């Protein structure tokens, strides 16, 4: 019995549990309230649950066999032969380093804010699936991105929750003498000490750098306190820790890294540190070293707008890099400053651009969808002697966003290991229409239960009486066409487009023969008043007498909410202003769950869409119309397609009540898209086209 606890502990300390449904469900089964209380954190769960209660629960609920099965699956997963060694060679030592400012791996680890982080998390998970010799490097933020609460007035408030690292699935990196590993970086006026937390993501290690040490000044300890918090000085400090500190960690670990992947420009200072190390090691000058490092840096850009990129003033840059340039590298600070410009010397420049630093130093550059690659090429018009921008379309880690119900349907029809067969989706037609439809209804009902519980809990928390909280049992209709819209509330994503013609919307949702309902969720950046206004607008619509219970807003969009939404929604709506969505990934998460996409042809949907896979909203981005007119025209197209194509298809049923046309579309969506828009395909592309081609 005691033995089982050791196994559980081992399971808890590897994030493999975050995509193994049985593992997640096991903790839930032991005690659902405690599992929720822990924030879906098995380490906290095991540390704080009463041990004899735990043993008793395992015994009474007969969970011993389950624990053994999960443990064996886990060990088999780690040990199975994987893509990398089949195609290339086998190696124990990491050769690829992936740098990102945020990682979205699972809900209890709040070191991400949104899409970029979730993509980094999925990159690590798929690298593990494929057996890549890769490590991740990031920052250990003590406060993650904020938790959102919508107050009684319908306004977003922010709550910063602390990450208790000693109670999370990670441990402090120690050397052979069991002393914590320390890295140092010189800042203006002080040396900043860094400790390192290690997280296991399957076979992959993620190292998180943390400046919260007693040796540091109070000011310096706060460098890694909050993700994307503070001013540009905080930003440059965090990015120095990530880029320069990250390379120092690699040196300290004695790794021979052959490919350095800069996921977005935040980590680009690593280019300086690599050049410095090369100069010292081979006794060459700056330009020679730069050339030598060029072929092994890979830069992935994620934003199609110049405003999305980190830019520092010359004064700030000089403050932080003068001593580093002169004393550590042995060049003028001007020389380093030029790296932040595309055409140094051509015009007087006062700004240091992190993307330019990355571009000037990377032998591989890519955008994150075909369209975004094109847009980036036009936006930057890179000089001919720079690497040209390619594209690798984003994906999602399928198992992390697949409902356990869908997983068991696939297991029943295919095999337990269906996920390892990359051609599995070509067999989707083997699944009976009835079973696809039953899977959909089940997934949707799980989502509705989740919504009811969240709304009820919030009411109880705010002091509502029994009658009022009991009313939540009737929220949402399990038979209605359920449309999801969840993403950051940035103005370009147009979270309120569907409300443009409120009369028309009311007509759509209140058709009692063909009911339609919407579930919204998403955060606005704390400083983005425009985004917060959008949220409050939607909340007030959700309280409108004619829209009540047909428009729902779920507080605090994060990975757990996202997973429930993408598992349960029938249709996923996305209507950004083209071409501002570089890729978008939430729509990819619905595919294997049997959800369908309805979107502007932007980002990934520009290449994923075909009339048999889903629907498009017409875009007027290329027409000569004002923004205002464009929104109006695109909203019209949205309503038109919804009324004339989507709703009729959903409600055309055969004698058994099955919407055969809809199910047919689900099957083609899965067949044509699920095998492409996943991070397994994506990481293979990075591996084959970039990582294994570095020089
Ligand atoms: C998938 C995901 C995103 C990214 O979705 P987009 O479509 O790119 O907006 C953001 N946040 C969370 C929590 C996610 O799971």
Write out pLDDT tens, residues 122-131: 999 999 999 9
Q: Which of 147, 562, 569 to mutate to test the pocket of ligand 1 (most atoms within 8 A of CB)?
A: 562
Atom index in ligand 1 nearest the CA of residue 558 equals 13
Compute, in angstroms, the gap from residue 465 CA to the centroid of ligand 1: 35
Is the model's pLDDT at 247 over the cut of 90? Answer: yes
CA of 118 relative to ligand 1 center, distance in Å: 7
Question: 114: Cβ below 6 Å to ligand 1?
Answer: yes
How close is the Cα of 586 to the center of ligand 1, in Å? 5
For residue range 638-690, what is the model confidence (pLDDT) as tens digits? 999 999 999 999 999 999 999 999 999 999 999 999 999 999 999 999 999 99
CB of residue 113 inside a 6 A radius of ligand 1: no
Which residue's CA is the nearest one to ligand 1's atom 5?
A: 586
CB of 144 shorter than 6 A to ligand 1: no
pLDDT at 469 over 80: no
- How far is C-alpha 621 from the chain's CA centre? 27
Q: Is the CB of 585 under 6 A from ligand 1?
A: yes
- Lowest mean pLDDT across 312-326, 339-353, 425-439: 339-353
**What percent of the chain has pLDDT above 70?**
100
What is the C-alpha separation between 248 and 254, in angstroms, rounded?
Answer: 10
Q: Is 18 in the pocket of ligand 1 (CB under 6 A)?
A: no
How many angstroms separate the alpha carbon of residue 113 from the centre of ligand 1?
A: 9
Q: What domains appear along the chain, each with residue ranges and CATH number?
A: 2-79 (no CATH), 83-395+683-693 (3.40.50.2000), 401-407+431-677 (3.40.50.2000)
Q: Give the pLDDT of residue 226.
A: 92
H helices, E strands: number in the chain: 29, 20
Distance from the CA of 55 to the center of ligand 1, in angstroms?
A: 38
pLDDT value at 377 more than 80: yes
Instruction: Tell me which H or E stretch contains 433.
Output: helix 433-461
The dihedral through the CA atoms of 650, 653, 659, 665 has a sign that is negative
367 within ligand 1 shell (Cβ under 6 A): no
What rounded mean pLDDT belongs to the chain? 95
Q: Is the CB of 118 under 6 A from ligand 1?
A: yes
CA of 557 to the centre of ligand 1 (A): 9
- Render pLDDT for 399-445 as a digit per residue (tens, 0 to 9): 999 999 999 999 999 999 999 998 999 999 999 999 999 999 999 99
CA–CA dist 476, 493 (Å, integer) = 25
Residue range 356-361: average pLDDT? 97
Per-residue confidence band for 347, with pLDDT thresholds at 50, 70 and 90: confident
Confidence band (pLDDT; 50, 70, 90) for 472? confident
pLDDT, tens digit, 9 for 90 and up, residues 222-240: 999 999 888 999 999 999 9
Q: Which residue's CA is the closest to the ligand 1 atom numbered 9?
A: 487
In order of 95, 201, 219, 350, the CA distances from 256 in angstroms are: 6, 21, 34, 36
Compute the distance between CA of residue 459 and CA of residue 451 in angstroms, rounded to an integer: 12
Q: Is 115 in the pocket of ligand 1 (CB under 6 A)?
A: yes
602-605: list long-range contacts, CB under 8 Å, 24+ apart.
602/371, 602/574, 602/576, 602/578, 603/368, 603/369, 603/371, 603/372, 603/576, 604/369, 604/393, 604/394, 604/677, 605/574
CA–CA dist 347, 75 (Å, integer) = 58
Q: Which atom of ligand 1 is nearest to the CA of 581?
A: 8
């Amino acid at each position: 019995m005691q033995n089982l606890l050791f196994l559980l502990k081992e399971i808890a300390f590897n994030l493999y549990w975050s995509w193994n449904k049985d593992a997640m469900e096991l903790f839930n089964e032991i005690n659902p309230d405690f599992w929720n209380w822990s924030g879906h954190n098995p380490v906290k769960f095991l540390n704080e649950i009463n041990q004899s209660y735990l043993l008793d629960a395992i015994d009474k609920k007969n969970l011993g066999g389950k624990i053994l099965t999960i443990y064996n699956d886990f060990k088999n997963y780690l040990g199975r032969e994987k893509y990398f060694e089949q195609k290339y060679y086998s190696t124990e030592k990491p050769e690829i380093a992936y740098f990102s400012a945020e990682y979205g791996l699972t809900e209890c680890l709040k070191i991400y804010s949104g899409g970029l982080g979730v993509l980094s998390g999925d990159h690590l998970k798929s690298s593990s699936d494929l057996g890549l010799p890769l490590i991740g490097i990031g920052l250990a933020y003590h406060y993650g991105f904020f938790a959102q609460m919508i107050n009684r007035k319908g306004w977003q408030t922010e709550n910063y929750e602390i990450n208790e690292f000693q109670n999370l699935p990670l441990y402090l990196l120690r050397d052979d003498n069991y002393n914590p590993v320390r890295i140092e970086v010189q800042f203006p006026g002080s040396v900043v000490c860094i400790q390192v937390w290690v997280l296991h993501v399957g076979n992959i290690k993620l190292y998180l750098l943390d400046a919260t040490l007693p040796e540091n000044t109070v000011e310096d300890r706060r460098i890694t306190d909050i993700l994307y918090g503070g001013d540009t000085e905080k930003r440059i400090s965090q990015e120095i820790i990530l880029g320069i500190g990250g390379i120092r960690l690699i040196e300290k670990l004695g790794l021979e890294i052959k490919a350095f992947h800069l996921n977005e420009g935040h980590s680009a200072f690593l280019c300086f540190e690599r050049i410095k190390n090369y100069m010292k090691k081979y006794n060459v000058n700056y330009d020679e070293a730069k050339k030598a490092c060029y072929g092994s840096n890979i830069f992935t850009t994620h934003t199609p707008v110049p405003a999305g990129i980190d830019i520092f003033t010359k004064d700030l840059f000089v403050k932080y890099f003068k001593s580093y340039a002169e004393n550590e590298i042995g060049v003028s600070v001007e020389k380093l400053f030029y790296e932040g410009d595309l055409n140094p010397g051509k015009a007087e420049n006062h700004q240091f651009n992190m993307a330019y630093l990355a571009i000037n130093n990377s032998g591989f550059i890519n955008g994150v969808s075909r369209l975004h690659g094109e847009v980036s090429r036009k936006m930057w018009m890179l000089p001919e002697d720079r690497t040209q921008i390619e594209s690798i379309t984003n994906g999602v880690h399928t198992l992390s966003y697949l409902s356990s119900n869908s997983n068991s349907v696939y297991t029943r029809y295919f095999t337990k290991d269906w996920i390892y067969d990359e051609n599995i989706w070509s067999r989707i037609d083997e699944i009976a229409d009835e079973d696809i439809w039953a899977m959909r209804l089940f997934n949707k009902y799980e989502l509705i239960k989740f919504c009811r519980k969240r709304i009820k809990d919030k009411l109880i928390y705010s002091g509502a009486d029994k009658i009022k909280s009991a009313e939540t049992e009737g929220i949402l209709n399990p038979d209605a066409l359920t449309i999801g819209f969840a993403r950051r509330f940035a103005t370009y994503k147009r979270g309120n487009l569907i409300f443009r013609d409120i009369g028309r919307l009311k007509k759509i949702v209140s058709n009692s023969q063909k009911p339609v309902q919407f579930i919204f969720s998403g955060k606005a950046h704390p400083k983005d008043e425009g985004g917060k206004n959008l949220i409050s607008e939607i909340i007030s619509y959700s309280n409108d007498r004619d829209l009540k219970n047909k428009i729902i807003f779920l507080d605090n969009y994060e990975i757990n909410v996202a997973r429930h939404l993408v598992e349960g929604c029938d249709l996923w709506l996305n209507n950004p202003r083209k071409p501002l969505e570089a890729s978008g990934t939430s729509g990819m998460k619905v595919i294997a769950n049997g959800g369908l996409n309805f979107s502007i042809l932007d980002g990934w949907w520009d290449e994923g869409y075909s009339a048999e896979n889903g629907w498009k909203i017409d875009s007027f981005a290329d027409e000569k119309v004002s923004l205002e007119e464009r929104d109006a025209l695109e909203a019209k197209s949205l309503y038109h397609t919804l009324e004339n194509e989507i709703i009729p298809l959903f409600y055309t049923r055969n004698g058994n009540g099955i919407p055969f046309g809809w199910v047919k579309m689900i099957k083609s969506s899965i067949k044509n898209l699920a095998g492409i828009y996943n991070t397994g395909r994506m990481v293979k592309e990075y591996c084959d086209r970039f990582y294994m081609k570095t020089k």
